[in-house]
A and B are shown apart, each in its own frame.
Chain A
């Protein structure tokens, strides 16, 4: 990484690593919550009710997009 080429803009996204091994991403807080709830409903229906928006945002991280 160098700044020799001048100012660089970085793009960020929200990332959540589900303990099942799947990595979930969303461009905004709302999107990562939506994607995570959909994943829970589809892959872990027995746990879906245990997770609310707060729990999801707790686990998600805002990081640079590759």
Chain B
């Protein structure tokens, strides 16, 4: 561990889930200390086979995001993908174990097998948008965007409002309510319905999808029992996605649900390959889970900042802005990684071909060169420059519009019903070195 200066603010242990689990204040102090002292920094995580570059500044991350020809997404997307394969091999499927057994693999190739292995759920033909580069990435993304097109999202406004009102009606005033498992369920309920999961399966499907979120981050420090628990749930999730897709393909994909749209879509002139189609289904379902996390952070931030909540009650037109401010303040994705395709100079440092680069979104979102009063939660903040929480460029989050739309409608409805709420107990967060969410958020709502 390196320290910034004699005042000994410890710099972040980027690979360690415990670093992200601490209180936000010391965590952001550590991130700021490194950002100000070494904005482009070579970090060597203990036990990793090689180091990686940490990019802390908004401007540098924008450069990487807008140059996919210089920074590839094929060779890993999260810090854990760079773990020593020997330490995570037990979390990978057979095909990935065999691939990693080959001789003379580069660090980048090992990262690709680890990253693809954890996402694949055993299927070697699995192909995720997140691990692809242009021009293929553009072709894959265009299929996904046809399913999640803006006109569809707009047409869903009425249905989102209905579901939101249904869930909010179940919340009793003055009674302790866990937001995560009540109002927080709305996006998952919506996404399972949109995807085409039958009503009787939806609750179980949401549970399985939550486990899949944990599987996205590979972590050498995860204990064996937890690995086994996650693997069991993820296998069930994957099997069900396979079944759903097979059913839609067999019926010609005639329905309006997203699984049907994918079943009848074409990719490069042929039906969408199975490994790709299944990754789309995962993406739809994961969107429900990440939006649940976003909603929970909004609810928590508004409980912690009653003045800001009152402002939203007076000015509901600010709710969309409040969603973006929460994304900046409490990012769901801590970071995203790329691999340099050639030598590139950033911030006076030479990043060599093959080097792994981590863009710390949580740092860019508090970059003093971009944000005034970066540590203040302000729902009236102007976003002339966007936060990094949905990423940037080709790989920006394909579900961003739907997430923003869901969240805005839900909080407009919630604030109209309950203009006031406060914390009824300590909130629970879950976190990995890649993603975070909330496991519980006890609130008491007031009319």
Q: Which residues of A contact B (CB under 8 A)?
A: 1-3, 7-8, 10, 12, 15, 17, 19-21, 23, 54-55, 57-58, 61-66
Contact = CB atoms under 8 A, between A and B. Distances in A.
A58 B382 contact: no
Contacts of A17: 386, 392
27 contacts: A1-B311, A1-B379, A1-B380, A3-B310, A8-B315, A10-B318, A10-B380, A17-B392, A19-B65, A19-B392, A19-B393, A20-B66, A21-B63, A23-B385, A54-B151, A55-B150, A58-B145, A58-B150, A58-B401, A61-B383, A63-B383, A64-B318, A64-B380, A64-B382, A65-B382, A66-B382, A66-B384
B324 A63 contact: yes
Q: Most B CB atoms within 10 A — which of A19, A54, A65, A66?
A: A19
| 6 A-B pairs with least C-beta separation | A66-B382, A19-B393, A58-B150, A63-B383, A1-B380, A19-B66
B314 interface: yes
Nearest to A3: B311
Contacts, number: 63
A7 B318 CA distance: 13
Q: Is the interface of B mostly helix, strand, loop or mixed?
A: helix
Contacts of B310: 3
Contacts of B149: 54, 58
A64 B319 CA distance: 11
A23 B382 CA distance: 13
A1 B386 CA distance: 20
A17 B324 CA distance: 14
Contact of A23 (B145, B151, B384): B384
A34 to B, nearest CB: 17
A7 B317 contact: no
A64 B378 CA distance: 12
A1 B373 CA distance: 11
A21 B62 contact: yes
A17 B321 CA distance: 16
Contacts of A21: 62-63, 66
A19 B321 contact: no
Contacts of A3: 307, 310-311, 314
A54 B314 CA distance: 32
A36 to B, nearest CB: 13
B194 interface: no
B404 interface: yes
A62 B386 CA distance: 12
B365 to A, nearest CB: 14
B202 interface: no
A19 B394 contact: yes
B29 interface: no
